[in-house]
Amino acid sequence: MQDRPDARELLAAVQGFLEEQVVPALDGTRQFHARVAANVLAIVGRELELGEASLWREWRRLTDLLDMPASPPENGAALTAAVRTLNAELASRIRIGDADEEPWRSRVVDHLRATALDRLAIANPRYAGPTSGS
């Protein structure tokens, strides 16, 4: 394990350099690409900070929504795979019409809203609003 600076600190340093030094010194297409690079670093930083907790919340909601046994995945890769599998099951159930009627429909909508807000908190928190991270 690396001491300091850690990955988040390194990302923040490069992002700050781009935003404070590089972007103002450029114009046109180069300035745009420097802004994009700074935004990518910000997204990666938020993913490192928020991604795993967000994925665990999604997994818990999906296992509850789909009434699946909830034995927690052993690691991050297994968690990601489990969420993908559960999302495929949810999509299948939506396609066959299971979410067309209440009360399950409202539960699906609540899950999808919470998942979207968690993802926006990582991709662009300005769009997520004050209720992000639910």
Rounded-to-integer distance, Cα 87 and Cα 97, Å: 15
Q: At what angle do helices 7-17 and 28-65 cross, to 10 degrees?
A: 150
Residue 12 lies in a domain: yes
For residue 119, the enclosing domain spans 7-131
| % of the chain at pLDDT higher than 70 | 95
Is the pLDDT score of 128 beyond 90?
no
Residue 88 lies in a domain: yes
Contacts of 98 (CB under 8 A, 6+ apart): 104
Task: Count how many domains the chain has.
Answer: 1
Residue 1 lies in a domain: no
Residue 109 lies in a domain: yes
Residue 67 lies in a domain: yes
Query: pLDDT tens for residues 44-70?
Result: 999 999 999 999 999 999 999 999 987
